[in-house]
């Protein structure tokens, strides 16, 4: 069987696996990218969320043969230096407890902020509704998503100084 080529975080990887293998296993066990977590394995908890062409997707329920030629982004590729507004907000609001669910939460938040730069409480609840946090970090999580939205918002530009003597 020819290897399957995956585009992960902007790099091509040829992997020699069964085409039906879930993307999650390939990320973690073949490519050693362990930032994406295994929670339930049946698309119920959100821990394994990655982006496929920018769309939040559960890697545990996605076969590698279905993602060839698509752009896969994992938590390792969300930013080069942990400077994505969601990552900064997570630190500012001290969101994680055990941390297990958090990379999935971050990937969903990043997608939400792209779709809705100013998410409402209802948007946030809807986005994270399929994510399970056993540590109950939801209140901090909601706050951090608002903080991330504020950090990502374009800053108002200062008015240009009016030249002396210019008409007002
Ligand atoms: S591990 Fe994929 S949704 Fe739980
Ligand atoms: S921080 Fe522990 S499961 Fe969410």
pLDDT of residue 143: 97
Cβ of 21 less than 6 Å from ligand 1:
no
3-state SS, 12-28, equals: EEEECCCCCCEHHHHHH
Nearest to 51 by CA among 35, 40, 30: 35
Ligand 2 centre to CA of 69 (Å) is 32
Selection from 37, 40, 39 nearest residue 29 by Cα? 37
Query: Which residue from 40, 90, 94, 97 has its CB within 8 A of the most atoms of ligand 2, so it is best to mutate?
Result: 97
Model confidence, pTM: 0.91
pLDDT value, residue 27: 98
Domains contained in the chain, CATH given: 4-78 (3.10.20.30), 85-152 (1.10.150.120)
* d(C-alpha 97, C-alpha 73), whole Å: 24
Q: What is the full per-residue pLDDT of the chain (168 aa) written as tens digits?
A: 789 999 999 999 999 999 999 999 999 999 999 999 999 999 999 999 999 999 999 999 999 999 999 999 999 999 999 999 999 999 999 999 999 999 999 999 999 999 999 999 999 999 999 999 999 999 999 999 999 999 999 887 877 777 666 555
Q: What is the DSSP string of 104-129?
A: HHHHHHHHHHHH-SS--HHHHHHHHT
Q: Tokens 């696996």 — which residue?
A: 17
Pocket test for ligand 1, best of 26, 36, 42 (most atoms within 8 A of CB): 42
pLDDT value of position 60: 98
User: Are the CB atoms for 108 and 47 separated by under 8 Å?
Assistant: no
């Amino acid at each position: 069987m020819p290897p399957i080529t995956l585009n992960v975080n902007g790099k091509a990887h040829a992997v020699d696996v069964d085409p039906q293998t879930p993307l999650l296993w390939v990320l973690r066990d073949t490519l050693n990218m362990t930032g994406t977590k295994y929670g339930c394995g049946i698309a119920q908890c959100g821990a394994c969320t990655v982006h496929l062409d920018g769309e939040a997707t559960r890697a545990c329920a996605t076969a590698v043969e279905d993602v060839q030629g698509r752009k896969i982004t994992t938590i390792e590729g969300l930013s080069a230096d942990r400077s994505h507004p969601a990552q900064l907000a997570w630190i500012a609001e001290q969101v994680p407890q055990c941390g297990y669910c958090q990379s999935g939460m971050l990937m969903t938040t990043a997608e939400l902020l792209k779709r809705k730069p100013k998410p409402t409480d209802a948007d946030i609840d809807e986005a994270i509704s399929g994510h399970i946090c056993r540590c109950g970090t939801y209140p901090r999580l909601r706050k951090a998503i608002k903080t991330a939205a504020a950090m990502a918002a374009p800053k108002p530009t200062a008015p240009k100084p009016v030249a002396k003597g210019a008409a007002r």
